Amino acid sequence: MWQNLIETLDKLGENYDKLATLGEKKRTALVGIDMKGLSNLLDEEQLITAKIQKLEQKRVELLKNLSQSNKNVTETTHAKDFYKLAPSLDAEKKLLQLHERLSKNVERTLTIRNNNQVLAQCALDAVQGRLNRLSGAAIEPTYSGKGAGIVTHQKNFDFKA
């Protein structure tokens, strides 16, 4: 089972690395307003995310099974302490190495995701502003009860004519 855990952590690290790489490509697509490219990246991201969910479920199950064989392991046991219970020093070193890699990849992926969210919101705001200008909308100097600006549309056409 320890070998299965090593393989699962390795695959998780690989998939998070792929997800981070896709996130960087998404940033390029967002900046370049490449909607077709962004759509393709989102589809690919969805597949990788599904793989990560399956691998994460497998990891949790493996850890649960491995921890049942040792009475000293509790829910509060840190992963690094748990890995010291591996059957060999090589397995322990490999688990610690994979744990570090996975932690760094997850952190990198989250940072990229957060940056992309800011870019996406800015792009949406720019599109909304452009649409408002095109439609002749004006934003009032007051705010609605929900904290959003109040948008009014001027009448550009007289339909009774």
Kindly report, residue by residue over 110-149, the tens digit of the pLDDT.
999 998 888 888 877 777 777 767 766 666 666 556 656 6
Would you say 140 and 158 are in contact if contact means Cβ atoms under 8 Å apart? no
CA distances from 26 to 53, 68, 96, 104 (A): 21, 42, 31, 20
Rg (CA), the chain: 25
The CATH number of the domain covering residues in 2-153? 1.20.58.300
**Residue bearing tokens 């100097």:** 141
Other CB atoms within a 10 A radius of the CB of residue 26 amount to: 23
Compute the average pLDDT of residues 93-97. Answer: 86
Residue range 54-72, pLDDT digits in tens? 998 988 888 787 777 777 7
> Tokens in use for 3?
């070998």
CA distance 60 to 103: 16
More confident residue, 148 or 16: 16
Sorted by where each begins, the domain ranges of the chain are 2-153
